[in-house]
Amino acid sequence: MSDLLISDIHADINALERILKVISSDEFVSRYGKVDRIFNLGDVVERGYHPKEVIDRLISLGEEFKVVSIRGNHDEAFLYRYEVSGSDKKCKEIHEKLRMDERAIAYLNRFLPYYIEAKDRILFVHGGPLDPLLITPPGASRLEQWLHERSWQRISTINAEYFDYTGYHYTPESAFIYTSMIFGDDDYLIICGHEHKPALFECRDNHVQAILKRGGQNTLKVMGMTLIVTEFERKPGSNYLVRLGMAGSEFALLFEDEEGRKMIIFEVV
């Protein structure tokens, strides 16, 4: 069984179609098996020029797979009419027309703030897992409240937690403490997107360390396309915080074979 993870498509239908072409190819299926479920970590709209096509494709995928979609900050910005950087004039005009598409708007409104896969012990979220009610200070403005939401949270780079107008910056330690209240102490995954830059932290025996550079990397040819493949083993008894650095033709698989449970990240180049 394989689960496909996508994130931060940003209205790029060509990137989405390349991903789907790869995972449905005979070469890919023979190596990794067929995809059973798709987890979309959000930001399907804004910045790109084909939001309707991306949404229509996701809807059609729901007829073939179980598709779980999480709200990203750009999805919320579009729905709430907040201005967020990264969209040019053409993009804004296209998205303004999308507001007339009731089917697309209804679909975006069904996206979840987060998703807990209890059986596999995985928390899926766009930015971060912390409960915004626990971190938003009294008297925060409406904008500041929004920037504390899970869609805007991001991993801190200075080993301290703080808020600024790019969101609430949390430490991996806080992410593990909060998520342990959901799953217990051992053997779970937190998977997020948002920042377009990969990160991987392991928590074992209450010790947290960054392990991204320890993944085994190789290349794979599929249908004339070259994939950079980075593979990580999911060790029993360890917890992981994974940030998928996805934007464009990148995706990941949660995959299990006779060697154990793995996360495999693919970049189509």
pTM of the prediction?
A: 0.95
Count of structural domains, the chain = 1
Model pLDDT for residues 39-56, shown as the tens digit of each residue: 999 999 999 999 999 999
Pick 198 or 241 by higher pLDDT.
241
Spatial separation of the C-alpha atoms in residues 101 and 252, rounded to whole Å = 30
Token pair belonging to 190: 């937190």
Residue 24, number of CB atoms within 10 A of its CB:
12
| Residue 96 backbone zone (phi > 0: left; psi -120 to 50: alpha; other: beta) | alpha
Spatial separation of the C-alpha atoms in residues 201 and 90, rounded to whole Å = 38
Q: Kindly give, in sequence order, each residue whose CB lies less than 8 Å from that of residue 203, ignoring residues fewer than 6 positions away.
A: 172, 173, 176, 238, 239, 240, 241
pLDDT bracket for residue 268 (50, 70, 90): confident
Question: Residue 98: is its pLDDT beyond 90?
Answer: yes
Three-class SS state of 75? helix
Name residue 238's amino acid: S
Domain housing 231: 2-268
Nearest 5°: the CA angle 211, 215, 216 is 160
35 and 67 Cβ atoms separated by less than 8 Å? no
For the chain, percent of residues with pLDDT exceeding 90: 86
8 and 42 Cβ atoms separated by less than 8 Å? yes
The CATH number of whichever domain residue 68 belongs to comes to 3.60.21.10
Break the chain down into helix, strand, coil percent, rounded to 5.
30, 30, 40
What value does the mean pLDDT take over residues 57-83? 97
